[in-house]
Amino acid sequence: MVKKIIGVGATANDGTGDLLRDAFVKVNDNFTELYNNWTNLNLPEAITDLGISDGSPGQFLTTDGGAGFSFTDITLTDIGITDGTANQFLKTDGSGNFAFAGVTFANLGIPAGEDGQVLTADGLGGVAFEALPNGGGGASTLDGLTDVSITSPANGQVLSYNAGTWVNAAAASPLQARTTATGTTSSIANNASVNLDIAGFKTYSLLAIQTDKAAWVRIYANGALRTADASRPETEDPLPDAGVIAEVITTGAQTVVIAPGTIGFNFESTPTTTIPCRVTNKSGSTGTVAVTLTVLQLEA
């Protein structure tokens, strides 16, 4: 059958064109012929109609180099990248090419170091090779203290850092040794009193008080409490909150043992190592009074 042309006349509504029914008969005939011819072609509706087995999710349709096609998984070798060995990484040469290679410091932008150097961080994300501390060198690994020029320690020693050098040193004792704190008053008349500040510790254990002549010695927690108690006579005991750490009256050059030992402390608003004292000369003549405290430090 040839294609049927619908007559539309020379001009609109001139009465020479096909009737409406006749026109749609031609349309149906033309469509029928096209449909029948398409059906006769037996075109495939799915890829399996072409004899290609369906693949799995994520696979690609590939050619075998001839006329055959199939769904397969894509590997790096399929796109021309030679397979690498274990622990290698895929890197680019910056021109669109890729290859497997081992990672080196140079690959990471770190200049190669020299024999015996170690890799150090600058705290800002950068790293570099540097010489070992204390002049170490010539060793490619750190197998022991000798690799960093430190001799093996003796029994009981510890590794100590001093002015850029690591050395072996005796371990510091966690305990403090008792010591003495001494102060001397200005020259004062007999029975006169004066304040005396002795350099000591913020907190301490008081073990003994020594004078070089007869004297009344009072020790306080801070200067304000010393001032408030200054007018108290020696025959009167201090009030419980007077801040008196200890007090003694000697009859000459004498050491008074404080037994049991008492805890002394500086109670200024900002604690200091000053031990506030008040000393009364009872020697019978004008002169200075030397006071020595035996103490044990209890606070740094």
Judgement on whether residues 144 and 249 belong to the same structural domain of the protein? no
Residue 245 falls within a domain, yes or no? yes
**In the chain, how many domains are there?**
2
Judgement on whether residues 260 and 288 belong to the same structural domain of the protein? yes
Residues 256, 257, 259: CA angle, nearest 5 degrees = 140
Between strands 193-199 and 203-211, the pairing is unpaired
Judgement on whether residues 209 and 149 belong to the same structural domain of the protein? no
Confidence (pLDDT) at 180: 97
Dihedral sign, Cα of residue 127, residue 131, residue 136, residue 138: positive
Confidence (pLDDT) at 217: 98
CA neighbor of 291 nearest in space, from 212, 207, 199? 212
Residue 96 falls within a domain, yes or no? no
How many alpha carbons fall within 13 Å on the CB side of residue 234?
A: 16
- pTM beyond cutoff 0.75: no
Judgement on whether residues 193 and 288 belong to the same structural domain of the protein? yes
Residue 267 falls within a domain, yes or no? yes
Q: Would you give per-residue pLDDT tens digits along the chain (300 residues)? A: 678 887 777 888 888 888 889 889 888 988 888 888 767 666 666 777 677 888 888 888 888 777 788 888 888 777 778 888 887 888 787 887 888 887 777 777 787 777 767 777 777 777 878 776 655 444 444 555 555 566 677 777 777 776 667 677 776 667 889 999 999 999 999 999 999 999 999 999 999 999 999 999 999 999 999 999 999 999 999 999 999 999 999 999 999 999 999 999 999 999 999 999 999 999 999 999 999 999 999 999
Confidence (pLDDT) at 48: 75
Confidence (pLDDT) at 139: 41
Quick check: 193 and 278 in contact, CB under 8 A? yes
Report how far residue 174's alpha carbon sits from residue 166's, in angstroms, rounded to the nearest whole number.
21
Confidence (pLDDT) at 95: 83
Confidence (pLDDT) at 38: 67
Confidence (pLDDT) at 171: 66
Domain span at 133: 118-170
Confidence (pLDDT) at 123: 75
Report how far residue 34's alpha carbon sits from residue 27's, in angstroms, rounded to the nearest whole number.
11
